[in-house]
Amino acid sequence: MFQSKFTSTLISMTLAFTLLISALVASNIAPTRALPPTEFTMNAILSPDPFWGYYGGYWAIWDEWGPELAKIGIDLDKHYQGDIYAIWELCWSPSVPEGGYPGGSPPHAWDAIIMEWWTQPQGMLWMDAIALSQNLVNGPLGGVNIQPYLSQASDEFYWGMQTTFDANARKAYADLWQAQLFHDAPWISIYSPHTYDVQGVYFEGYNGYCWTTNVNHVRINRTKVYQMHEADELSDAAYNRLYNQKVVQYAASEAWWNFLPPYVDSYTEEEFQALLFHTLYRMSVDPWPTEDNPAAPPTDYEVIPWLAASDPINLGWEPDSTDGKQVYRVRIPLRTGVQWSDGHKFNATDVEWTINDIILDFSLGCTATGDFAPVVKRAEIHDEYTVDLILYEPYVDLTLILANDWGQAIVPYHHFDGVPPTITHPANKKMTGPTGAVNVPTLGPMKYKDEGPSPGYSWLELEKNPNYFGYGLGWGPYDVDGWIFKYTPEASQRLLDLQTHTSDYGEYPTSPVEVFEGFMDDPGFKAYTDFYPSVNPLWLNFNNIVISNRYVRQAIAHTIPYNDIYKDVLPSWGVIEPIPGGSLIHPFQYYQGIQLWNTELPIYTYNIAKAQKYLDMWRYSQDYITRPGNELPANYNKGPVGDANFDGKVDLDDLYEWYDTYGTAPLTKQIDWLDPSWTTGGGYPWPAGSGCSLAPGNDIDADFDNSNDVTLADYDLWYANVGKVYPFAGAF
């Protein structure tokens, strides 16, 4: 009878893991000192998954952290959502102008969430969408700036970094951008993980950071499958699936809801759609890691042509034929001889239509729009196998955006008769019937075959596409005739499926470090440690006028018990050597050999005394402070008097702010750098009259004495406080 040597210990390991989590919760029941009165309540959203990840709940971190927030008067109210898709609806839905989704927790549907954000080792993909002001979630660019974060300095530094090809200049902009994010934090990065990767030893040539966008090297080593079965190390069922049927199986932690590329919304969708549809370029690594040395250094990662025949050809600046503005033209030669799985030829029409009519149509809600729209103005057909991209200006990560399989893969024009499929299109919601996804032609090595009885929540099976052009080029996957994606939401079941070779690789096989160390000693598995290109930040909703305050966010950042989380929580999830949180740029991101991570940037530390000082800056600058049964007048003398521009110090910049707003009520100054076209209806979506400040986060102004008018008295207060740093010397 086949039995993995880990199976016998699984129950005891799971029990020990459960006891560990219980101990973490129990150890934080009682605070160590008398608690101050509650200043406000922060509504945190947790997913049903207790662990870390894109839709993880991070339960143990919240339990460890909650009592620390209480020490400065912040009450943590945790809300467990019943479905991970509801997390997306809650945080990113553009249904209401103020952000958030109706039906969520008051007062603003959600206040805080911890969630992984993947940072590509090849560049800054997916950062435009959450960092740039023009990517407000409710704006026409369709971005995912869910906070919403508005910062002129952040915009300028980020755009400078992304449009500068000189390595030293790019590094300088990157350092400035990270410093700005650290000072006025839209999110608080808790850690970046160094973790494990595990696959069956017979599943070769797969790289976890290129996913299935590059399966050129993937193969089922049937010799190893046969040997393991002969040695009673592989069950009959696994042997038949791998050796005879030649089918790979993936243990998916996330469900899937979308079958078409424009609407990718989970890691599972990303993984299987990359086997079906292709982008113009793709993520890769050179040299490709070997089975003996599977961990590649971050400097080896690259972007290479896929449906494109070569790297882009820069044609230079020219006046745009539509409006006369200067634009930058880039030419993309396409591969010839490529066929869709139904035999129809692929050409420039597919590319131009996908970009112009789907990705750049803001009303469709394509998941690539936020990354695409700030860079690409439109696509033009040059000839049958050449597409020109009209850019607003040269962009250093253009090929990475064109390799984005999160919504940017090319869709077959001929199948949809040039009518863009919507998120509710039958082909996007089911795999049966004449218009179902099973009938949509594909370009990749696989095509749709079948799905389990509960769509998105059981299993999805793909089969080999004999028309895949890569086979003619000698590409893999080799000895793979099918691919199964099995919905496995429980971490313990994903672990068991890996241990028994029911699945050959998986997503977030969360287990204590000791379990992964056992994998590394077992010849039936390829297990190794590697950098994991992600940050795991606390996201904060700027629509909450308290949390949007910079001082409140800095206070929150200093209540997080980082060292306790690193020591007590993360090892139980299989995370080793966590890298303390900094910015969204990952420590392993390089450009032309230069590390873009700002190594001079300080890191947040747990310090309740500092947290209280930051929170006091918010408390004392309010018109009044409301507590249960008690209202206290503001004491502006203890607040950030003189700091009109919210940068934490009193200097000439604040005098300019005072001058610009002299004679006006506070919080009425328009943001003159914000393009009205970036927001719904062409106007700023957060008027003060709706309960939010005119600029979320910028609720410190030149009305230093809180008289509701900017006067000469405020100038006197500025002059008396020139040189001060709030709330203490050395503050961020």
**Averaged over 583-611, what is the pLDDT?**
91
3-state secondary structure of 173: helix
Report d(CA 300, CA 631) in Å as an integer.
60
pLDDT band at 7 (very low <50, low <70, confident <90, very high): very low
What integer pLDDT is reported at residue 393 of this predicted model? 95
Which of the pair, 414 or 630, is modelled with greater confidence? 414
pLDDT for residue 651 is more than 60: yes
Report d(CA 717, CA 100) in Å as an integer.
38
Domain ranges in the chain are 38-193+532-611, 262-486, 635-720
What integer pLDDT is reported at residue 209 of this predicted model? 86
Between 186-195, 422-431, 699-708, the lowest mean confidence (pLDDT) is in: 699-708
Q: Which fold has domain 38-193+532-611?
A: D-Maltodextrin-Binding Protein; domain 2 (3.40.190)
**Quick check: do 38-193+532-611 and 262-486 share a fold?**
yes
Q: Which two tokens stand for residue 218?
A: 């993937």
The backbone torsions φ and ψ at residue 378, rounded to the nearest 5 degrees and listed phi first, read -175, 170
Which of the pair, 104 or 492, is modelled with greater confidence? 492
Average pLDDT, the chain: 86
What integer pLDDT is reported at residue 509 of this predicted model? 82
Report d(CA 213, CA 175) in Å as an integer.
31
What integer pLDDT is reported at residue 673 of this predicted model? 65
To which residue do tokens 């839709």 refer?
55
DSSP state of 136: B
**Averaged over 611-633, what is the pLDDT?**
70
Most confidently modeled range among 206-210, 227-231, 424-428? 227-231
**Averaged over 236-258, what is the pLDDT?**
96
Report d(CA 521, CA 198) in Å as an integer.
12
Residue 700 near residue 669, CB atoms below 8 Å: no
**Averaged over 73-88, what is the pLDDT?**
83
pLDDT for residue 459 is more than 90: yes
Tell which CATH classification among 2.40.50.320, 2.40.50.100, 3.40.50.720, 3.40.190.10 matches the domain 262-486: 3.40.190.10
**Averaged over 189-212, what is the pLDDT?**
93
Residue 284's nearest CA partner among 270, 296, 273, 268 is 296
pLDDT band at 634 (very low <50, low <70, confident <90, very high): low
**Averaged over 205-223, what is the pLDDT?**
94
Report d(CA 525, CA 507) in Å as an integer.
16
